[in-house]
Amino acid sequence: MGIEEIDEQHKELIGIINKVHSYYPGNKIAEIESLIDRLTEFARIHFSTEEKYFEKWNYPYADEHMVEHEKILLKILQFKAKSEKYSKELLNEILKFLKDEWFENHLKKHDRKYSNYFKLHGFIK
């Protein structure tokens, strides 16, 4: 995105996605809950970081973007509610969400939008 702090966080997201890939049906419920807790904490920190830059540089689409953040957090909390009933399907659902909704849709579409805005206005290179 052109902001080192956010780029490092996006690398962490990729690490989480890779971690989910390494899970298998024999994982314990506690491990899945731990993963979801890590994901929740990551999302809160990451979204707070992005929103800090939105405010700093008066990003005009901040409210729209923050609605997307809320949707992602809600989905993660739904996974938390399901984690007591661990199954291969739940892992597949989490992985699909991370790859398709968060990485492909949110990061490549919504995050790219603010990055382009920040570049256009000279806030980043």
CATH number (domain holding residue 17): 1.20.120.50
Does 29 fall in a domain?
yes
Tally of CA atoms within 13 A in the half-sphere of 123 that contains its CB = 18
Tens of pLDDT, residue by residue over 37-93, are 999 999 999 999 999 999 999 999 999 999 999 999 999 999 888 876 766 778 888
Cα–Cα–Cα angle for 58, 114, 95, nearest 5°? 130
Cα separation, 81 vs 69, whole angstroms? 19
Residue at 55 is within a domain: yes
The number of domains in the chain is 1
The pair phi, psi for residue 122, each rounded to 5°, is 80, 15
The Cβ of residue 25 has, within 10 Å, a number of other Cβ atoms equal to 9
In a domain, 125, yes or no: no
**Whole-prediction pTM:** 0.89
Judge whether 81 lies within some domain: yes
Instruction: Quote the domain boundaries for residue 66.
Output: 4-120
